[in-house]
A and B are shown apart, each in its own frame.
Chain A
Amino acid sequence: MKSHLLSTGDLSRDDALLILDTAEELARVSQRSIKKLPTLRGRTVVNLFFEDSTRTRISFEAAAKRLSADVINFSAKGSSVSKGESLKDTALTLEAMGADAVVIRHSASGAPHRLANWVRGSVVNAGDGTHEHPTQALLDAFSIRRRLGRLDGLKISIVGDVLHSRVARSNVLLLHTLGAEVTLVAPPTLLPVAVESWPCQVSYDLDAVLPKSDVVMMLRVQLERMNAAYFPSAREYSRRYGLDRDRFARLHDDAIVMHPGPMNRGMEISAEVADSPRSTIVEQVGNGVTVRMAVLYLLLGGSEPAIGGAE
Chain B
Amino acid sequence: MSAYDLHEGAVTTILIRGARILGGAPRDILLRDGLVAEIGDLAGADAGQTIDAAGLVALPGLVDLHTHLREPGREDAETVETGTQAAARGGYTAVHAMANTSPVADTAGVVEQVWRLGQESGHCDVQPVGAVTSGLEGRQLAELGAMADSAARVRVFSDDGKCVSDAVLMRRALEYVKAFDGVVAQHAQEPRLTEGAQLNEGEVSARLGLTGWPAVAEEAIIARDCLLAAHVGSRLHVCHVSTAGSVEIIRWAKSKGWDVTAEVTPHHLLLTDSCAETSPLGPYNPIYKVNPPLRTAEDVRALREALADGTIDCVATDHAPHPVEDKETEWAAAAMGMIGLETALPVVQEAMVETGLLDWAGVADRMSARPARIGRLAGHGRPIEPGAPANVTLYDPSVRRPVDPTAMASKSRNTPYEGMTLPGHVVATFLRGRPTVLEGKLV
Contacts and interface: CB of A to CB of B under 8 A. Distances in A.
Is there direct touching of A and B in the complex, by C-beta distance under 8 Å? Answer: yes
Contact of A114 (B198, B211, B330): B330
Interface stretch (A56-64, A148-156, A187-195): A187-195
Given A110-B283, A117-B282, A193 B328 contact: no
A8 to B, nearest CB: 12
Interface string A87-121: 11000000000000000001111110110110000
B44 to A, nearest CB: 61
Given A86-B325, A86-B329, A130-B209, A113 B203 contact: no
A106 B210 CA distance: 13
Interface string B187-208: 0000000000010011101111
Interface residues of A, number: 26
B330 A110 contact: yes
Given A113-B284, A193-B214, A87 B206 contact: no
A172 to B, nearest CB: 10
Contacts, number: 74
Given A131-B208, A193-B212, A193-B214, A108 B203 contact: no
B333 interface: yes
Contact of B206 (A110, A113, A197): A197
Interface string A125-137: 0001111100000
B157 interface: no
Contacts of B282: 113, 116-117
A187 B205 CA distance: 19
Contact of A109 (B203, B284, B285, B328): B284
A166 interface: yes
23 contacts: A86-B325, A88-B328, A108-B331, A109-B208, A109-B284, A110-B331, A110-B332, A113-B283, A113-B284, A114-B285, A116-B282, A128-B209, A129-B209, A129-B210, A129-B332, A131-B209, A166-B209, A192-B205, A193-B205, A193-B206, A193-B212, A194-B205, A197-B203
Given A108-B332, A109-B332, A195-B206, 20 more contacts: A87-B330, A88-B329, A107-B332, A108-B333, A110-B208, A110-B209, A110-B284, A111-B330, A113-B284, A114-B285, A116-B282, A129-B332, A130-B210, A131-B208, A192-B206, A193-B202, A193-B205, A194-B201, A194-B205, A197-B206
Interface of A: 86-88, 106-111, 113-114, 116-117, 128-132, 166, 169, 192-195, 197-198
List the 6 closest pairs (A to B, CB-CB), nearest first: A110-B284, A131-B209, A192-B206, A108-B330, A109-B209, A130-B209
